[in-house]
Structure 1
Amino acid sequence: DLVTLPYPGFPTDLQSPFMSVLCVADGFAIVEEKIYPERFMHVPEYRRLGADIRKQFATCIVSGVTRLQGAPAASTDLRAGAGLVLMGLAAEGETQVLKIQHIDRGYERFHEKLGALGATIKRVEFVPARRAEDRRREAA
């Protein structure tokens, strides 16, 4: 179980990466966020990969699963993005982590460092679909 607290307690900054590990651990764990309850914004994204997380207010119950499934998921912040990458590496199939600017601003060459450890990570440029309004303007 984890309870975030001011120093010297468990740091709130490590809550989401640790939760990503708990998602594949045996049994279940209770995670209480006592500093920033909004730090649970990553929970829906972790669920996209198959995590079994029940959230109620500032507490989550994480039940470990035997397998995660690759899926598109968005990084909600720096540390949650790192957790998503870790979950993607553990998942079956391909995982697409969107909004990686959060990861880039805090972890220099993160994908290269994980690649040096044997991870298969490919960065692709995301080109958003043109909006209907832009297409109409171009056609006129």
Structure 2
Amino acid sequence: MLLVIVIATALLLATIVVHGAAVMLLYNCGARPLGNAGNLSPLSRLGWSYFFVLGFVVAHLIEIMIWALAYRLTGELQDLEEAIYFSAITFATIGYGDVTLVGKWRLASALEGVNGILLFGWTTAFLFKVSAVLWFGQATTDDS
């Protein structure tokens, strides 16, 4: 059981690093338009909103794949499609129950659910701030 906790913690940390890199990359790409949001057309604002949302979708897909590959490589799930499906519904805390893990690996899936909640929360906070800047004229921290 200790090995499972160590592996799950490493996976959790890996996904946090991926998410942090995504936040930095997306912010660096969008810093200039965010700093000049008042001069953007509504269509440009929408385009930048799409950019940030799609960037986080890609980040979450990578994070889901990290967990899926771990389930597959440990032999817990027999094929990659099943591992991706299980990881996605676990990461999103949907948990249909049609695919489950057995024994000690159930703890890893619980940690994946916690991981998903945290990273979706981080995404939500970032998108909320971006939306406030793009659509409601709130200043970025650089402007304050």
TM range (shorter): under 0.3
Normalized against structure 1, the TM-score is what?
0.28
Structure with the higher fraction of residues in strand conformation: 1
Higher radius of gyration, 1 or 2: 2
Using CA pairs under 8 Å that are at least 6 residues apart, name the structure with larger relative contact order, 1 or 2.
2
User: Which structure features the higher share of helix residues?
Assistant: 2
TM-score w.r.t. length of structure 2: 0.27
